[in-house]
A = this chain, B = another copy of it.
C-alpha cells in the first residue's frame, strides 16, 4: 500500500497548486484512475484525514501524507560513485528536493576527487565511513557498478547509515536496521520490452 502513497502525494500537490481546496474520494478516483473505495481504504489506514459530507482538505491531506512519508524531516545524503548517473542524480535532487541534500560525494577516480558536482565536493572513497559518522549522514546513494556496490555495501553496513538508495543492478544484503530501495533501470526497461512484444503479437 505504501507504494501508492507517493502517488497520492504527487496528485495532491498538483491539486493544491491549482488552488483546489477540497476533494472527495470520488473526484480523486476519477483523476488518478483508481477506485474511490481504495482511496478511502488507503487513507484511513493512516488515520482519519477526511470528513463525512465534505471530503478531504487538499492542503491538510498533502501535509499529513508528507509527514507519513517522512518528508518533514531533513535527510542528509552522500553520493557513492560520481560518474554520469551519480552526477545527474545530484543535479536533479539539489534542484528540487528541499528535505534531501547531498553533503558529499565519493569516488575512486583521482581525476574527480577534489572537484565539485553542483557544489557537492568529491572526496576519496577511503574517507567515506568517517564522513558518514561525522556528518550524521542518513542516506547513501549508490551509483557504482555491481561488484563495487556489493563491496561498498559491506563497508556501509559498519557505519550508522540508515538507508541505501541503490542504482546498481544487484540485490544488496544489509543488516535489518538499514533500509534499501533499489532503482533497477534494467528491470524497468525489460518490462517495457515485454509489453512491446506482447502488444506486437496481438
Q: Chain A 59-81, CB within 8 Å of chain B: the 1/0 string?
A: 00000000011110101000000
Nearest-neighbour CB distance to chain B for A140, whole angstroms, equals 11
Inter-chain contacts of A181 with B (CB < 8 A): 188-189, 191-192, 195
Residue A116 at the B interface, CB < 8 A?
no
Q: What are 25 A-B contacts with C-beta separation under 8 Å?
A: A6-B186, A7-B171, A7-B187, A10-B169, A10-B186, A69-B190, A69-B194, A69-B197, A70-B194, A70-B197, A71-B190, A71-B193, A75-B193, A75-B196, A83-B88, A84-B84, A87-B88, A89-B185, A100-B189, A139-B192, A162-B200, A163-B195, A179-B192, A181-B191, A181-B192
CB within 8 Å of B: which A77-109 residues: 83-85, 87-89, 91-93, 96-97, 99-100
Interface string of A162-180 (1 = CB under 8 A from B): 1101000101000001010
Q: Does A111 contact B (CB under 8 A)?
A: no
Residues of B within 8 A of A139 (CB): 192, 196
A-side interface mostly: helix
User: How many residues of A are in contact with the other chain, CB < 8 A?
Assistant: 53
**Alpha-carbon distance A73/B84, docked complex (angstroms):** 28
A196 CB contacts on chain B under 8 angstroms: 70, 75, 138-139, 162-163, 179
Contact (Cβ within 8 A) B92 A185: yes
Which residues of B lie under 8 Å from residue A37 when comparing CB positions? none
